[in-house]
Amino acid sequence: MAGYRPTWQGHLRLSLVTCPVALYTATNSGGEVHFNLINPETNNRIKMVTTDPDTGPVERAKLVKGYEFEKGQYVLLTNEEIASVKLESTKTIDIERFVPEADIDRIYWDNPYYLAPDGKLAQEAFSVIREAMARSGQIALGRVVMSTRERLLALEPRGKGILAYTLRTDAEVRAEDEIFGAISDKAPDAAMISIAEKIIQQQEGPFDPSQFTDRYEEALKALIADKRKGHKVAKVAEPDDTNVVDLMAALRASLGGAPGAKAKPARAAAKATGRSKATAAPAPAKAPARRKAS
């Protein structure tokens, strides 16, 4: 773990068994391409200066945090006053409960961290807790305070350590009906579903994260390299309009053109849908718009 700075340090406790631990972020910050604001007339990087609208620039070290309880009215808090708020979870991850992984809806999973013993003396107790968790086959739930917020943690054994995920609170998750409520309840065409299922089968395969790269960032790197060489930036063509007019035709074309698919004769394709081109049913009428809930 040399070279990695922990996000949080404290103790992990299972009943009366306690050991020092440290939390490390399990992912890198997004993207390698970072931009700065530049004045094109001088080529100088712009500096952001903390400024009081009445008195002008202010040293950042002199600033305090403020909570706005009314428009323009603040309760001021120093770092020492904020640090005086003591919760047990500021220094201890106390395992409160064990639950099946399937009981935690995927929408609640937030950011991943690695939890490791903090020092050689902590390794024995840590290993006991980790192994007991592994044998239970369940997710451990605890609490931790990070960045002035108490977060629920989901803990599960991973290799020689523990993978910890912060979980979103119920208040942070929107009710799905707020977004999905306007979607029509009308059942889609069974023949179309059958073709779509075949397309899915043709595209099945294992998940290999190494095959997925950030193509936008790679394109940005290429653009920057071209600019450094003095090349003129080529104008990129606009993507084709993907609006589907004939859904059945688009599905049939997708089935024949999916990766690894063999082109099918028109008769075979028609047989797969259970209807020929001549007897294909007309496109279903557009469902009436649902009235927005008040």
Q: What is the Cα Rg of the chain in Å?
A: 28
User: Residue 29 has what DSSP assignment?
Assistant: P
Confidence at residue 258, expressed as pLDDT on a 0 to 100 scale: 57
Q: How far is CA 250 from CA 5, 196, 242, 254, 255, in A?
A: 52, 10, 10, 6, 9
Who wins on pLDDT, 267 or 153? 153
Confidence at residue 278, expressed as pLDDT on a 0 to 100 scale: 36
**Token representation of residue 85:** 């708020």
The torsion region of residue 204 among left (phi > 0), alpha (psi -120 to 50) and beta comes to beta
Whether residue 266 has pLDDT greater than 60 = no
Q: Quote the longest CA-to-CA distance of the chain.
A: 81
Q: Of 40-44, 151-155, 225-229, 230-234, which gets the smallest average pLDDT? A: 230-234
CB distance 8 to 90 below 8 Å: no
Q: What distance in Å separates the CA atoms of residue 167 and residue 154, rounded to the nearest whole number?
A: 7
Q: Which fold has domain 8-31+85-172?
A: Ku70; Chain: A; Domain 2 (2.40.290)
Long-range contacts of 14-20 (CB under 8 A, 24+ apart): 14/95, 14/129, 14/132, 14/140, 17/125, 17/128, 17/129, 18/92, 18/125, 19/117, 19/118, 19/122, 19/124, 19/125, 19/126, 19/129, 20/117, 20/118, 20/119, 20/121, 20/122
Q: What distance in Å separates the CA atoms of residue 197 and residue 189, rounded to the nearest whole number?
A: 12
CA-based nearest residue to 222, from 123, 153, 213, 117:
213
CB distance 162 to 156 below 8 Å: yes
**Token representation of residue 181:** 């409520």
Q: What count of Cα atoms within 13 Å lies in the side-chain half-sphere of residue 117?
A: 15
Q: What distance in Å separates the CA atoms of residue 100 and residue 104, rounded to the nearest whole number?
A: 8
Domain ranges of the chain: 8-31+85-172, 189-201+246-278
Confidence at residue 112, expressed as pLDDT on a 0 to 100 scale: 97
Can you say whether the dihedral through the CA atoms of 131, 21, 24, 78 is positive or negative?
Answer: positive
Kindly give, in sequence order, each residue whose CB lies less than 8 Å from that of residue 153, ignoring residues fewer than 6 positions away.
Answer: 93, 141, 142, 143, 144, 164, 165, 166, 167
Confidence at residue 259, expressed as pLDDT on a 0 to 100 scale: 56
Q: Per-residue pLDDT averaged across 253-269, rounded?
A: 56
CB distance 272 to 256 below 8 Å: no
Q: Of 22-31, 160-169, 239-248, which gets the smallest average pLDDT? A: 239-248
Q: Per-residue pLDDT averaged across 197-225, rounded?
A: 87
Q: How far is CA 208 from CA 205, 214, 265, in A?
A: 9, 14, 33
Who wins on pLDDT, 170 or 87? 170
CA-based nearest residue to 9, from 96, 128, 133, 93:
93
**Most confident option among 215-229, 246-260, 279-293:** 215-229
**Most confident option among 69-83, 95-109, 197-211, 267-281:** 95-109
CB distance 108 to 173 below 8 Å: yes
Who wins on pLDDT, 89 or 112? 112
Q: Residue 286 — very low, low, confident or very high, per pLDDT cuts 50/70/90?
A: very low
